Amino acid sequence: MAIQASGAVSLSNIQTEFGGSNPISMSEYYRSGTYIPSGATSVPTSGAIDISDFYGASNSYAFTIAANTRNADVRALAITDGWDQSTPLSVTVNSGVWCYSDTTSTGGLVLAGSFAGGVTVVNNGNIIGMGGGASQAGGSAIQITTSDTVAVTNNSGAFIAGGGGGGGGSYTYTSVGSSGTLTGYTGGGGAGQGGAFGDTSSRTGGHAYGGIYTDSTIGHGCSGPTNTTDTRSAILSRGYGYGGGGGSGAFAGGTSFVYTSGACAGRLQASYWRQGGAAGGRALTGGSTGTASGNAGGFWGQAGSGGGGAGGKAILGTSTLTNNGTIYGATS
């Protein structure tokens, strides 16, 4: 705990915070010496030294994440800020700041590598994971791989939210005479997948795209229109997503074509379809789960519907947690 910022401070207060032996001598407590870390900038490195120099001083290196940061690597950011890599570390995420991710494999805030004196995370902002795509699991908000001590405090008004799992997706082909239909759903993206921070407005899914599916049995001397020259395409309804929740699933439909004569009569030649569930948004409040047909992506920290991906964890890894804010997703 830091020394008080005003009022009476004793030599024993300084010794309790920074260590040392009796009898107490002020000459032991120059910055960057035996006991005082380089981050205690109010304490001089030489010359005149006064007890008032220790107001607010702490036996840890403190730095702040004050701007939106993708995949915030705490160790790398602290070293850049001037941390000596041995002093206990404290990092504060400011109110209104987003630590986020654009990949489900990496957390919005990452604690990896060595923290010899331990590390404390104080969150006053928003730490979020990436939402999963169709049938994919959501990513973690805080990802801890270090074996050193980690303490997390989530203050009132702050959020730690694992990404939502993507909605499940599946397709069914039904043959009807010389053609057929391909039906099914493309799962919507889980919450945290994309969009502007805090955006609760509805929007269409990511661009649906055309594709050609070729049956593995095609060929073998069969004749007919080729996949590359037949330009017929499917018609698809788009899904709609809402910024605060998982995106809705999009209906994936189309027309499939089969050979009508020769040795391959009745075999599937090509199917044309489009797919693209709505992306999950990044609003932590005021949004809703996606609507329209299909399997919606999960809300923050929740699995996607229709057998979709698992919800991402709020905290992945070992830590002690003090929570006075809002957490979506498991902590472990």
Query: CB–CB of 247/281 below 8 Å?
Result: yes
- Supply the pLDDT for residue 134: 76
| Together in a domain, 179 and 265 | yes
* Mean pLDDT of the 62-91 span: 94
Is 296 within the bounds of a domain?
Answer: no
Q: Is residue 300 part of a domain?
A: no
Pair 67, 157 in one domain? yes
The DSSP 8-state label assigned to residue 242 in this structure reads E
3-class DSSP string for 206-240 = CCCEEEEECCCCCCCCCCCCCCCCCCCCCCCCCCE
174-184 pLDDT, tens digit each: 555 445 555 55
Parent domain of 76:
61-163+312-328
Same domain, 231 and 159: no
- Give the highest mean pLDDT range of 100-114, 126-140, 280-294: 100-114
Better pLDDT: 172 or 304 = 304
* φ, ψ dihedrals at 101, nearest 5°: -140, 150
Q: Label residue 145 by pLDDT band (50, 70, 90).
A: very high
Judge whether 222 lies within some domain. Answer: yes
Residue with tokens 């260590």: 19
Tokens 């001397």, residue located: 221
Are residue 176 and residue 158 in the same domain, yes or no?
no
Mean pLDDT of 245-261: 53
* Mean pLDDT, range 39-55, rounded to an integer: 86
pLDDT of res. 313: 97
44 inside domain: no
Do 226 and 267 share a structural domain? yes
Residues 150 and 243 in one domain: no
Domain count along the chain: 2
Non-local (6+) Cβ contacts of 8 within 8 A are none
Identity at 5, one-letter amino acid code: A
Per-residue confidence (pLDDT) for residue 327, from 0 to 100: 97
Res. 284: pLDDT tops 80: no
Looking at residues 27-47, what average pLDDT do you find? Answer: 83
Q: Which amino acid is at 247?
A: G
Same domain, 97 and 141: yes
Q: What is the pLDDT of residue 243?
A: 38
Residue 208 maps to a domain: yes
Specify whether 141 is located in the same domain as 192. Answer: no
Q: What is the pLDDT of residue 318?
A: 95
If asked whether residues 253 and 317 sit together in one domain, one would say no
Query: Letter for the amino acid at 205?
Result: G
Are 142 and 176 found together in one domain? Answer: no
Q: Are residues 243 and 209 in the same domain?
A: yes
User: Which candidate, 249, 269, 287, 4, places its Cα nearest to that of 133?
Assistant: 249
122 and 72 in a single domain? The answer is yes
Most confident of the following: 8-12, 171-175, 241-245:
8-12
- Contact between 239 and 196 (Cβ < 8 Å): no
User: Residues 129-146: what's their mean pLDDT?
Assistant: 91
What is the model's pLDDT at position 110? Answer: 98
**Does 77 fall in a domain?**
yes
Work out the average pLDDT over 111-120: 94
Q: Is residue 292 part of a domain?
A: no
Residue 31: predicted pLDDT = 83
Instruction: Flag whether 35 is in a domain.
Output: no
In this prediction, residue 332 carries a pLDDT of: 84
More confident residue, 96 or 54: 96
The most confident of the ranges 61-65, 244-248, 323-327 is 323-327
Enter the pTM of the model. Answer: 0.72
